[in-house]
Amino acid sequence: MNADLRIAKRSGDPDTITYSAPALEKGLDILELLCRSETPLSQKDIAGNLGRSVSEIYRMVTCLVERGYLANVDEKYHVTTKLFELAHVNTPTHRLLYEATHLMQKLSGELDQSCHLTVYNQGRQVVVSKVDAPSGMGFSIRVGAELDVLISASGRVLLAFQDKETRGMRVAESMRRRPDHADPQIDTILDAVRARGFESIHSVQVRGLYAVSFPILDSQGRAIAALTVPYAERIDQVHRKSIATVEELLGVTARDLSARMGAPAADQNGFTR
């Protein structure tokens, strides 16, 4: 058997076989480490952070450079844009972003507020697109940022508009990642979000910020993304838009984008079910 592919029994379940690929795992460990690092790392730094020797990672790093996932500058390595490009080539993501771009730009222009689009991923949510406020002043989140789920407006929307089994799995997954965010009332909160059709709350992360978030629904009426406006009130604007106006215009945009993603008309009626 190939030395890089090993078969192991899962503990507690003698009838279940799992496969491990040490070389692949090392490569993924390197990519994940560098994605989270704010600065390029040398091979020695990479090895030290992963608890491995330089010789163990040398071939993996070389391969990742040759395939274009890493770049080597002055013997230090950083992640290229290839992962980002591959994510956007993925058909569902590509279509979502293609359809969302113009609508988000139009919404941001109408409100003079930034907006961003997030998707759920393993107990967290990731920003996949954002548009800044046209005036250049406001609150925005960078693409690629990872956000908490249970306490945020967008995270609650991503959880609320799922079937019960998926919701339960994602709530448990999010709690494992952030046990300090566990809330015995979370099911009641999510039921209320679903009944309302969206979430609109004061941010519990940034003082003075208000968040409004609507689901982007697929053909099964499930949230594949959340479209959010982090509302920052401009006290220097006489005719600034109200939160009620944000809710109205964001809802129109979310319904439009959901329709383009195949959501049934019944699921778009105020996003109530």
Residue-range domain boundaries for the chain:
22-80, 88-268
**How would you classify residue 160: left for phi > 0, otherwise alpha for psi between -120 and 50, otherwise beta?**
alpha
**What percent of the chain lies above the pLDDT cut of 70?**
85
Running DSSP on this structure, what letter comes out for residue 181?
G
Q: Residue 1 pLDDT > 50, yes or no?
A: no
Out of 67-76, 110-119, 203-212, 215-224, which region has the weakest mean confidence (pLDDT)?
A: 203-212
Q: For the chain, how many residues are written?
A: 273
Higher-scoring residue by pLDDT: 11, 234 = 234
User: Fold for domain 22-80?
Assistant: Arc Repressor Mutant, subunit A (1.10.10)
* Token pair 């899962």: residue: 10
CA-CA distance, 244 to 261, in Å (whole number)?
26
CB 150 within 8 A of CB 131: no
Running DSSP on this structure, what letter comes out for residue 10?
P
* Token pair 């319904």: residue: 255
**pLDDT, average across residues 3-16:** 49
* Token pair 């379940």: residue: 13
CA-CA distance, 272 to 243, in Å (whole number)?
20
Out of 36-40, 114-118, 261-265, which region has the weakest mean confidence (pLDDT)?
A: 261-265
**pLDDT, average across residues 140-146:** 87
Q: pLDDT tens, 158-209?
A: 999 999 999 999 999 999 999 999 899 999 999 999 999 999 999 887 877 8
> Could you tell me the CATH superfamily of domain 88-268?
GAF domain (3.30.450.40)
**pLDDT, average across residues 244-254:** 95
Contacts 24+ apart (CB under 8 A), 6-9: none
Chain centroid to Cα 218, Å, comes to 17
Q: For residue 198, give both structure tokens.
A: 């969206």
